[in-house]
Amino acid sequence: MDHYLFIVEGAHDVALISSILRVLKFRCIKDINKVTKPFNNLLIDRFPYEKNSLENYNKIPSFYDKGNQSVCIISADGETKLIKALDNAISKFRLDELDEITKVVIFCDGDLKIREDKISELIKISFPKDNDLEINKNKLIDGFLSLNNVDIINIETEFFVMPNNKDSGRLEQILIEAIKSVDKALLEEVDLFLSNIPNKYKSKWGESNSRYDKTRISCVGNVKNPASSMGLLIGSSKWITSDTVKSCKLLGGIYKYIEETIK
């Protein structure tokens, strides 16, 4: 069986990739007993999750399968924790179990940087001089997940930098493109509404963050599905379908990447 490990920034990325996997006819595993080896090592069954803190961020991975393919999606709770989350995950496997992992993909936003600069930045902040990561930094740069002092582990590893694995940008651009395809009239009404909002409420919106697009997405989504979180909206609002992955360039790009990755 082929096992693919996806590491993402947060819940919205989980929702996007999960929706794409469903279009690809993958089944979400809801029963803990149906999570196959070696991914069953990543199940969490205790609380609190970190030391004595009650600030409980959801660390339960998402599991999908189809035929002889299995996908595990782990949310890192922020881009600065992506490689650390991967390091924590692989520490739960025995060496022989790591051999069963077919490929690792790290998904992140480009933000204001192009792909190469973003990847360099992530690696730089993840490997300070006194780091205690098990992952070998140089091998990761070369596209492989290996462990320090363990030469026998070499798992193919890639980065996908949103929105198109090339230019600067964010996940929200993928969603806005899909919304324009499905709910264009509603988005135009939302944009008109937001244009009339006093500037004091928009003072923290800017190119350095995605707050404006997050607001647009949330407004459109909550008209259709009131009181829903953005993660739920991504999965329930018919923005990511077999039709939109064909008609939307950015969405189609990440769809084709995942499709090719898990062939």
40-44, 69-73, 117-121, 141-145: least confident range: 40-44
Mean pLDDT of 107-120: 97
Mean pLDDT on 115-125: 95
Residue 83 is predicted with a pLDDT of 96
Handedness of CA 180, 183, 188, 194 (dihedral sign): negative
Amino acid at 122: L
pTM for the model stands at 0.94
The pLDDT of residue 55: 61
Q: Which of 51-55, 133-137, 151-155 has the lowest mean pLDDT?
A: 51-55
Quick one: pLDDT at residue 6? 98
Q: What is the pLDDT of residue 237?
A: 87
Confidence of residue 48 (pLDDT cuts 50, 70, 90): low
pLDDT at 53: 66
Tell whether the model's pLDDT for residue 259 goes beyond 80: yes
Q: Which residue has the higher pLDDT, 130 or 73?
A: 73
Question: If you average pLDDT over every residue of the chain, what do you get?
Answer: 93
Secondary structure (H, E, C), the chain = CEEEEEEECCHHHHHHHHHHHHHCCCEECCCHHHCCCCHHHHCCCCCCCCCCCCCCCCCCCEEEEECCEEEEEEECCCHHHHHHHHHHHHCCCCHHHHCCEEEEEEEEECECCCHHHHHHHHHHHHCCCCCCCCECHHHHHCCEEEECCEEEEEEEEEEEEECCCCCCECHHHHHHHHHHHHCHHHHHHHHHHHHCCCHHHCCCCCCCCCHHHHHHHHHHHHHHCCCCCHHHHHHHCCCCCCCHHHHCHHHHHHHHHHHHHCC
Supply the pLDDT for residue 128: 79
What is the arithmetic mean of pLDDT over 197-203?
A: 95
Q: What is the pLDDT of residue 56?
A: 57
Whether residue 52 is predicted with pLDDT greater than 80 in this model: the reply is no
Query: 47 pLDDT exceeds 70?
Result: no
Calpha distance 148→170 (Å, rounded)? 32
**Any idea which of 23-27, 69-73, 150-154 has the lowest mean pLDDT?**
150-154
